[in-house]
Amino acid sequence: MEVIDNYLQNVLFPRFEQYEMNKDIIERVGLDIKTRLLSLFNNWNNCDNRRALLVTSVEEAHYYQPPEDIEIRCLVVLTIRNSLIEDLASTNEAAKLMGLQKTIIPERDIRKFTSDAIKYFCCIDISTVSKSVITDNDVYGKLMSSYPLAWGIIKELGKIVFQNKKYSIIDDKTNKSIVKNSKQKSDNLLRIDQYFKENTVVLSGMDPNIDPYLSNVLKAISEGYPIFFTDSFKTITRNPEKLLKIIDYVLANNASIVTCNFYISRDYVSARSELQRPMHSESETIEKLKNKNGLSKTHLKALNYIINNIN
């Protein structure tokens, strides 16, 4: 597609010239981004599906510059920031899988890529160009059927976030909101200090694998753990399929996912009215937990529960 090819050839690839990247790596990254853009465009004109995809990146996109339309900024996070570019910038292990010895793109340069992309795509009539999209690899569309429980809930989250609503009650008679059980013992909740100081695993944000620590957390969820807490979606993963897989698993076990911005359960979703920036350091999350502004009562109760169980 010309719109995507122009972006790659005239905007992104010239930025790559300053790094030690061979043609194969550049083409591999370019193909990954093109595949993601085509898939998003393929779903763009279905408002509910588009916003379900975009809401997975809105926490980060909210703070991206320049401050163009929020859906364009989400597009850039979802398809460009959350692409193989991550493997060139995150960990040496990920870079080696790309054929490099170590990471070659510093974090500060990522902002240049995203700013360039926002400026480019904000001038494109995506609704129009999306009508002519043809793709046989709808990587985002596949998530709808692969993780139906998570997808249905994320669609509700997308609706309230982009319509500036605070919460939505979902008709799910088979489940009760976990947060209503205020009698959970503190040892059933992941200690926040353990989460940060002892067990944090640093991977490429695009790594599809479930690391041993995350596996243990999910095992605890299956055994009755009531809440899966994380600072933001990106601290779980930048990989959309991995994110939906985890959300689907947590919800299937009747647990809730709580972030500083979102509360998600099978029968209720809510969003903070003014989204907080995803953390850059561990101490930021503790401070963010203390910010009670713009929360629904259910979300506030969940965050208070988490704070009260910090040892």
Report, as an integer, the average pLDDT of 198-223. Answer: 84
* Structural domain of 76: 2-142
72 and 113 in a common domain: yes
Tens of pLDDT, residue by residue over 243-261, are 999 999 999 999 999 999 9
Task: State the pTM of this model.
Answer: 0.91
Q: Which pLDDT value is given to residue 213?
A: 86
178 and 127 in a common domain: no
Residue 196 has pLDDT above 80, yes or no: no
Report, as an integer, the average pLDDT of 183-203. Answer: 46
Q: Which pLDDT value is given to residue 171?
A: 78
Tens of pLDDT, residue by residue over 18-48, are 998 999 999 999 999 999 999 999 999 999 9
Residue 310 has pLDDT above 80, yes or no: no
* Last residue of one domain, picked from the residues 142, 175, 195: 142
Q: Which pLDDT value is given to residue 202?
A: 66
287 and 192 in a common domain: yes
Q: Which pLDDT value is given to residue 184?
A: 38
256-258 and 262-264: which strand pairing? Answer: antiparallel
Q: Which pLDDT value is given to residue 190?
A: 45
Residue 195 has pLDDT above 70, yes or no: no
85 and 31 in a common domain: yes
Report, as an integer, the average pLDDT of 72-92. Answer: 98
Residue 303 has pLDDT above 50, yes or no: yes
Q: Which pLDDT value is given to residue 42?
A: 98
* Last residue of one domain, picked from the residues 112, 142, 172: 142
203 and 133 in a common domain: no
Tens of pLDDT, residue by residue over 148-182, are 999 999 999 999 999 999 999 997 654 443 333 32
